[in-house]
Amino acid sequence: MITLVDSSLRDGMHSVRHQFSPEHVAAVAAGLDRAGVDVIEVSHGDGVGGSSIQYGRAAFSDAELIEAAAGGVARARIAALLLPGIGTLRRLTEAQRLGATVARVATHCTEADIAEQHIAWAAEHGMTAVGFLMMSHMIDASQLADQARLMESYGASVVYIVDSAGALVPRTAAERVAALRDALLAETAVGFHAHNNLGCGVGNALAAADAGATWLDGSLRGLGAGAGNAQLEVLAAALERSGHATGAELFPLMDVAEEVVAPLMPRPQIVDRTALSLGYAGVYSSFLLHAERAAAKFDVEPRAVLMELGRRRIVGGQEDMIIDAAAELADRTAPAQTGSSPGA
């Protein structure tokens, strides 16, 4: 049985510049709950405590949003994302008090060790503790398995491969899931979080399920960073057709996608040339809007900025380097200065 996790109200926050209101959250969460989705993730796009100049200011606090989601559901579990260093244990305690029962603790894929305190706290305090290994395309399957084992040793009962850049394809996604499945205890679940930048979001999630992942993320209408996540209602239908039960009801899921989420989307969630460049260059999906802004400011191509970020292997938390890369590209393409003024 697959545990379906909806990220529209967290990853989708990147696409709406963290502007969802408690009313939006309550309406989407109620629709997901009616459709039988197991877990609903809610917070700023960069997790609890993410609202800042660096990551984008949210219109409402994580507390208001989590409370609204918890108030809107009868059976779904509410999840909060936390990136150690951005969010703190105080934020996680608050999320739990307001109704979150699943803690998703996210680190860069080589830095599982910074999640020890947060995963252990969540497990000790009765939450489902989930480890979330971001930018998982950057290391190979056996290195990922080592990092996943660390998260398991801290108390995670689920460990995710997170394709933050949407840079994986079905084969490389499945290889990584299989490596975790082999390395972890049988009672530890493996999860997969897709982005659609190479057009492989749903395909990668299906390949992950076939390789043994039992926690799968998606977003209604795909609403998420970059070209978005695996489109949840499509994923639910495709999983069912490929023999993986989810417990979700397809028509109510389609209805909340079409009637509640679609009208809230600022632009269609498509693989345009900038989003495709994210996947191709292996760049963090949430850099999309930052890179577009920096490119406009320095009058350079967003694609060139993304390729430069990929070359520099910039990761989450280094958002200021996006501006640096755009400024440097502008310098490189500016006409050479002679150093003397005309007529001097």
Which segments are annotated as binding site for Mn(2+)? 11, 193, 195
How far is the C-alpha of 23 from the C-alpha of 111, rounded, in Å? 36
Using CB distances below 5 to 8 A depending on partner kind, what does residue 306 bind out of Mn ion, ligand LCEJXURD, none?
none
Residue 246: alpha-carbon gap to chain centroid:
20
Token code pair at residue 22: 């408690």
| Residue 303: C-alpha distances to residues 176, 269, 326 (Å) | 28, 18, 10
Q: Which is nearer to ligand LCEJXURD, 300 or 306 (CB)?
A: 306
CA torsion 185-37-240-171 (nearest 10°) is -50
Token code pair at residue 242: 């490929």
Binding region:
10-11, 164, 193, 195, 284
Catalytic status, residue 14: yes
Residue 224: alpha-carbon gap to chain centroid:
7
How far is the C-alpha of 134 from the C-alpha of 143, rounded, in Å? 13
Residue 48: DSSP 8-state: T
**Does 189 sit near ligand LCEJXURD (CB under 6 A)?**
no
**Does 134 sit near ligand LCEJXURD (CB under 6 A)?**
yes
**Which listed residue (14, 108, 118, 290) is catalytic?**
14
Which of the residues 26 through 45 are near ligand LCEJXURD (CB under 6 A)?
Answer: 45
- Least Cβ distance, residue 229 to ligand LCEJXURD (angstroms): 8
**Does 281 sit near ligand LCEJXURD (CB under 6 A)?**
no
- Least Cβ distance, residue 68 to Mn ion (angstroms): 21
| Residue given tokens 């897709």 in the structure block | 194
Which of the residues 289 through 328 are near ligand LCEJXURD (CB under 6 A)?
Answer: 316
Residues lying near ligand LCEJXURD in the complex (CB under 6 A) are found at 11, 45-47, 83, 106, 134, 162, 164, 193, 225, 285-286, 316
Catalytic residues: 14
